[in-house]
Amino acid sequence: MITVEHLTKRYGAFTALDDVSFESRPGRVTGFLGPNGAGKTTAMRVVTGLTPASAGTATVLGRPYATLPNPGRHVGVLLDASAQHAGRTGREVLTLAAILTGVDRRRVDAMLELVGLTEKEAARRVRNYSLGMRQRLGIAQALLPDPEVLVLDEPANGLDPAGIRWMRDLLAGFAARGGTVLLSSHLLNEIERVADDIIVIGNGRVVAQGTTTELLAGAGTRVASVDDSALAAALEADGVTVAPLATGGLRADTDPDTVGRLALRAGVALRELRGGDERGLEEMFLELTASSAREGVAA
């Protein structure tokens, strides 16, 4: 269990996190989404005791991370795969981690096999690893102590499609066994497939959170036409609340049949008409973070 309450982090005049609250619960994968610079990594660093909060609290398994007895045994963390010691072999990285946390060294072989690193690859220096191999090694290190909680920042970076599928199954299995997973990723389709809950952050504030089903259900109707201004006027004249979408078109607070009927009455040709529950995670993400996203970035 991860609990974040009214978390604020300031760097001088800049506020990286502003009154952020959320939970990541056992038995569930929580997707943590936001544009670059939104505050995801800062929040994860506070949760794992690497960055002190300016205000608010972050607890793991009911306690601040730093006060857990041997926290590395309870919480598996991967925030930056490139931070591994480049001069050590993959096996040495895991063996040292086992020694430091008091884990049976026999788990090193089991973890290497789990993440798909061969004996030959495990004997190579980390400086000679690809990004995907470093990610696998980082995941092996996070899982080494058989933790109750995983905190993973962009763990699928550098993985090929087969590796991404493997990652999805691994996290789903970990959660199914009662583990807690807090996962950030820019691969929105994968988050949509694996996450039970989603937290969306923008400009250091939580802009939406809930189960994946709830957030993707949306409301009303998504519609696009040859003249959205005229269509919006026709809908509003009939008492329908309308809002423009960052991805183009309109969201109308009514059912598709009503939108189609009013568009026909107004003589506006439609290009798209569908219920709000048909939208995907990418569309929802872009709508919620339109004011804070940098061009071309959805991380």
291 or 136: which leads in pLDDT: 136
What are the tens digits of pLDDT across the range 32-65?
988 888 899 999 999 999 999 999 999 999 999 9
Q: From the options 3.40.50.150, 3.40.50.300, 1.20.80.30, 3.40.50.2300, give the CATH code of 2-215.
A: 3.40.50.300
Contact by Cβ (8 Å): 208, 215: yes
C-alpha dist (Å) from residue 154 to 31, 163, 190, 227, 271: 11, 13, 11, 40, 36
Angle at which helices 228-237 and 256-266 cross, to 10°: 110
Cα atoms found within 13 Å of the Cα of residue 106, Cβ hemisphere only: 0
| Gyration radius of the chain over CA positions | 22
What are the tens digits of pLDDT across the range 10-25?
999 999 999 999 999 9
As given in the structure block, the two tokens for residue 41 are 């990594």
Indicate whether 231 pLDDT > 70: yes
Q: Is 230 helix (H, G, I), strand (E, B) or coil?
A: helix
Of the candidate ranges 73-82, 142-151, 154-163, the one whose mean pLDDT is the lowest: 154-163
Angle at 110 between CA 107 and CA 116, to 5 degrees: 140
Indicate whether 216 pLDDT > 60: yes
pLDDT band, residue 294 (cuts 50/70/90)? low
Location of each CATH 3.40.50.300 domain in the chain: 2-215
Indicate whether 242 pLDDT > 70: yes
What is the mean pLDDT of the segment spanning 120-126?
95
Pairing type for strands 250-252 and 221-225 reads antiparallel
Cα atoms found within 13 Å of the Cα of residue 141, Cβ hemisphere only: 29
28 or 274: which leads in pLDDT: 28
Indicate whether 128 pLDDT > 80: yes
As given in the structure block, the two tokens for residue 42 are 């800062």
Indicate the pTM of the whole model. 0.77
216 or 161: which leads in pLDDT: 161
Indicate whether 247 pLDDT > 90: no
* Burial of 37 from C-beta contacts in 10 A (0-12 / 13-18 / 19+): middle
What is the mean pLDDT of the segment spanning 260-287?
80
